[in-house]
Structure 1
Amino acid sequence: MIDAMWLPVVAGVSVALTLLAQLAWRLARGTRDLGNDAERATFRTLSLASRAAVDLRGGLDTGEVQRAARSLKALLGSDAIAIADRRGIVSMDGRLDLGPAAWQLASSVIETGQRQLLSTKTDAVGAPIIANGQVVGVIVAFAAKVRPPLVRATTEVAKWCGAQIELGGLEASRAALAEAELRALRAQISPHFVYNALGAIASYISTDPERARDLLLDFADFIRYTFRRQGEFTTLAEELKSVHSYVELERARFEERLSVTLRIAPETLATVIPFLSLQPLVENAIRHGLEPREHGGTIVIAARDDGTHTEITVDDDGVGMEPAELRALLTVGEPTDHVGLRNVDSRVRGIYGDDHALVVETNPGAGTMVRMRIPKSQPFNETERPMNG
């Protein structure tokens, strides 16, 4: 039976944004509280660089590059600035009539891969933007007289732009990998599970229509959540709702052989966790821990506040496994039918680092406990509420 300790999982949990509000308030007041002239100059430089970084992360072929050019012109203090890729000028801020001269200089930089100077009515310096070892673009800065400080600054800014473009590429690769891993998890909703769930629902239609209706709703909720399109992250509260639907469907098949207990500290419900990271651990416990046992068993799902982290555990009293088998199932490339466990381990390590790998404690006949530690502070990982219906 589902233990009475199942907590009501709230649909939405508010996260305090006090620190961000305080920061926004300080920025809104301007720079008058930032100290002397040097401190204000430092703040202005960091602010311009921060704005340009956001606009450059998508590469040089996006509409945001025009905003980046505006920030970089102010950063360099030049009369005009142009950004070019291998096809031509992609953005220009300042005197638009300097476009032909900008492309002439940019073409030479792209061809040689070296910084170049141009002396016309208005002098210019062009520096290559290098990302992943390739010249992907050029920054051209114009001034009435190009002096050594502008040459050095333009060169350094071009290097910095290349680094931002590389970071943007890494972020895109990470997002693509995360999406691929989610597709793999979704593909693991085995036809066997779907067949068993629908078979269990059908078996109640004539004997207990109300139960059949509830199970059908659980099945719809589980499928809807699993295939939602919003975001790479969710909250523990939302994931527990999906786990509840999944467990109800499995209980229709196991009946009294499956017992689930929740020990969830209320303050952990708002914890941001990777989407579909808890349910595969529960599924693994049922399929590989309890199903092989004639009398089934019990799963305990717990979450506690561990200071800087939320510690989530899934503990079963099932058949357990040999340590060598455990090592193999967590080794990429080794064949295993514990794909969900390996997938979750790979994802949490990719997001939070290897020191956040899953911890698995098991022995034959002694059950299995899987521990996942999630940082409580994740300012760059956002959740999106699933749409109703």
Structure 2
Amino acid sequence: MPDSPLYSAAAVAVIALAVAAVVAVGLKVLRSFRELGTDAERATYNTLHAASKAGRHLRTGLNPAGAAKASRQLRGLLGCDALAILDVSGVLAWDGAAEELRPGLMELAADVLANGRTQVFNAADLLLHSPASGPAKSGPVAAAVVAPVRAGSRVVGAVAAFAPQAGAGLVRATTEVADWVATQVELAELDASRTLLMEAEVRALRAQISPHFIYNSLNAIASFINTDPARARELVVEFADFTRYSFRRHGDFTTLAEELRCIDRYLLLERARFGERVQVSLRIAPEVLSTVIPFLSLQPLVENAVRHGLEAKEGPGHITISANDSGAFAEVTIEDDGVGMDPVQLQSMLAGHVDGEHVGLRNVDARLRQVYGDEHGLVIETAPGEGTLITMRVPKSQPDHDA
């Protein structure tokens, strides 16, 4: 049998190790807790975190799905028993107790929606507007604060907080939450306006194509009717395909492959007019053909190269169209050896400070910046007599955009 003192020493050692481990874990937990900051800092973090989560659900505006998810976060911010979000037509979401008051909420909030002023309602007001007969079923809920949600000068909805009593703190907090919701609604309307602006710019590009290009194309086709009827028929088909694509009414995005097909038809029609004066080279990496790009974002760049680069040049001109795989991006370049442009005037035109002949470039540049951010605008290298190189970079992965 081993000596008992040896066992005692071993037991003491094990206990000491266990105590040391517990102390180490405790110190780590305490250190982590301290890193969260003071009670006030933790409360601020929780408030901002809840507001951030609610904001994501309201970025599409006031709608039932987003309001239902946001109301849970906003009720936690106010610490009330129930919270409702409504627009001018009805209650969008209700979170918490006292849901028997929901059917009468629009009537209760009618004056708030009409005059845009926060109102406080007591238990008698709630009972008056509750469809339930007899005493209210809402338990501790005996007061409500209804604050308007404004978008600009319009009242577009309201936030209603229900609690046992409505003190000055709840009134101020509900009003602030309603103002915060209003900010999210205005951001959603801004996003919608940007979408409409993009659609308007596409229409502007289509209008730009029609008068100049259509007139010249029809003249070129007419010139072949007597001398080469087969060529005239071929050009009519290409012209029809080009205009069908350019004036399509669905979708703000297309694929690089589709845009290149449109460019091929465009150049075929232009070569019917210019003959051998327009020479074209293509260098396309197959792996980027499926990349999604804004509709009519390449054709205006090629048209700019023909109209403003080669048309004014004596003798033949050359256009090189390249599309390459550049990691997470597809990089497309349009290069011509035409007359070039004044960089200062071009920069001023792209900024919208002056009007110019290169409206297609400005529209494409603005649309790329709106969709992908300012770092994805057109990069243009040019000088008088030195030709023009235009580079466009777009992400290869765009899950939110369908061609």
Task: Place the TM-score, normalised by the shorter chain, in its bin.
Answer: 0.7 to 0.9
Matches of 1:108 and 1:118 in 2, distance apart?
15
**TM score, norm. by length of structure 1:** 0.73
Q: Distance in 2 between matches of 1:287 and 1:139?
A: 57
* Separation in structure 2 between the aligned mates of residue 256 and residue 323 of structure 1, nearest angstrom: 29
Rounded Cα–Cα distance in structure 2 between residues aligned with 1:171 and 1:200:
43
Q: Of the candidates 363, 388, 400, which is equivalent to residue 343 of structure 1?
A: 363
Find the counterpart in structure 1 of residue 34 from structure 2: none
Partner residue of 1:118?
122
TM-score under structure 2 length normalisation: 0.71
Q: Does 1:210 align with 2:230?
A: yes
Q: Tell me the amino acid that sits aligned with residue 308 of structure 1.
A: A
> How many angstroms apart in 1 are the aligned matches of 2:212 and 2:286?
35
Structure 1 residues 315 and 48: CA distance shift in structure 2, 3 A: closer
Rg larger for: 2
Query: In structure 2, what is the Cα distance between the partners aligned to 1:88 and 1:193?
Result: 49
Counterparts of 2:280 and 2:177, CA distance in 1:
57
1:250 matched residue in structure 2: 270
Q: Are positions 1:383 and 2:402 aligned together?
A: yes
Deviation of 1:220 (Å): 0.9
SS of corresponding position for 1:136: strand
Compared with structure 1, are the counterparts of its residues 315 and 98 closer, same or farther at alpha carbon in structure 2 (3 Å cutoff)? closer
Distance, in Å, in 1 between the alignment partners of 2:261 and 2:339 is 27
Q: Report if the CA contact (8 A) 2:68-2:92 is conserved.
A: no
Deviation per residue, 1:58-110 (Å, 9 max, x gap): 44xxxx43x4454455553877654444x564546574654435533563586
Aligned to 1:104: 108
Matched, 1:289 2:294: no
The Cα shift of 1:140 comes to: 1.8
Alignment of 1:25-174 (within 5 A): 49=54, 52-53=57-58, 57-59=60-62, 64-65=63-64, 67-72=65-70, 74-75=72-73, 76=75, 82-85=84-87, 89-91=90-92, 93=94, 95=99, 98-100=102-104, 103-105=107-109, 107-108=111-112, 111=115, 113-114=117-118, 116=120, 118-120=122-124, 121=136, 122-123=141-142, 124-132=144-152, 135-142=155-162, 158-174=178-194
| Alignment CA distance shift 1:149-1:244 (3 Å) | farther
1:253 partner SS: helix
Give per-residue Cα distances to partners, 1:125-160, cap 9 Å, x unaligned.
Answer: 323324347643212244677799987885665345
Aligned to 1:185: 205
2:149 corresponds to which letter in structure 1? I
Counterparts of 2:153 and 2:345 in 1: how far apart (Å)?
42
Q: Give the aligned partner of residue 269 of structure 1.
A: 289
CA distance 1:264–1:84, shift in 2 (3 Å): same
Report SS of the residue matched to 1:107: helix
In the alignment, what sits opposite 1:364? 384
Residue in structure 1 matching 2:335, options 315, 329, 332: 315
The residue that corresponds to 1:22 in the other structure is none
CA–CA separation in structure 2 for the residues paired with 1:367 and 1:125: 67
Q: 1:307 Cα shift?
A: 2.0
Cα pair distance change 1:208/1:199, threshold 3 Å: same
Aligned residues of 2:253 and 2:294 also touching (Cα < 8 A) = yes
**Alpha-carbon contact 2:146-2:159 (below 8 Å) kept:** yes
Q: Whole-Å Cα distance in 2 between the matches of residues 68 and 190 of structure 1?
A: 42
For residue 215 of structure 2, the aligned residue among 195, 206, 219 is 195
Q: Residue by residue, what CA displacement relative to the aligned partner does 1:211-243 show, whole Å, maximum 9, x if unpaired?
A: 222211211111111111122221111111111
Q: Is the 8 A contact 1:109 1:126 kept in 2?
A: no
Provide structure 1 residue ranges, at least 5 long, that are not aligned to the other structure. 1-40, 385-389
SS at match of 1:315: strand
Structure 2 CA distance for partners of 1:159 and 1:292, relative to 1, 3 Å = same
Matched residues in 2 for 1:365 and 1:264: separation?
Answer: 27
Structure 1 102/330 Cα, relative in aligned 2: closer, same or farther at 3 Å? closer
Please list the CA deviations of residues 157-198 of structure 1 after superposition, one character each: whole Å capped at 9, or x if unmatched: 534532331122011110111111111111112433212212
* CA–CA distance in structure 2, aligned partners of residues 350 and 88 of structure 1: 32
Provide the rounded CA distance (Å) in 1 between the counterparts of 2:337 and 2:93. Answer: 66
Q: Cα 1:251–1:159, aligned 2, differ >3 Å: closer, same or farther?
A: same
1:283 to partner: Cα distance = 0.3
Following superposition, the deviation at residue 344 of structure 1 comes to 1.3
